[in-house]
Amino acid sequence: MSEILPVAFTHILDGLGDPVDDVGAVAASALIPVAAKILSDLPDQVEVTVRRLWDLLLEQDELAAACNSFMGLLAALLSSPLVHEHMSYVKSHMLSQVGVGYQCFMF
């Protein structure tokens, strides 16, 4: 896993933003089981990933199938106590966009 994740991660992250919702959903779903490894092995990618997911959720229709996968990955990342070490920009960015709405993601 430690060898594959760094190589595959950038491609999966690109898949999150694919214009086809199903591709983004599969990309997010692929990262959910390895969320803890992203935090430990790719700490420099945590902020980028959370920011990308947040932006995708802002653009998505809440009934879109991809929304469930995006929320699942976001929850998997944000529920870890380790994520707060990597949240400096993301927290202020999210709060500026939705005010106190970000608090619902803090577990």
pLDDT tens for residues 24-58?
999 999 999 999 999 999 988 998 999 999 999 88
For 54-68, how does the pLDDT look when each residue is reduced to its tens digit (9 = 90+)? 999 888 877 777 899
Model-level pTM?
0.77
Measure CA of the first residue to CA of the last residue in the chain; give whole Å.
27
89-94's contacts with Cβ under 8 Å and 24+ in sequence apart are: 89/47, 89/51, 90/47, 90/50, 90/51, 90/54, 93/51, 93/54, 94/54
More confident residue, 106 or 97: 97
In this model, does residue 78 exceed pLDDT 70?
yes
> Residue 44 burial (CB < 10 Å; 0-12/13-18/19+)?
exposed
More confident residue, 107 or 20: 20
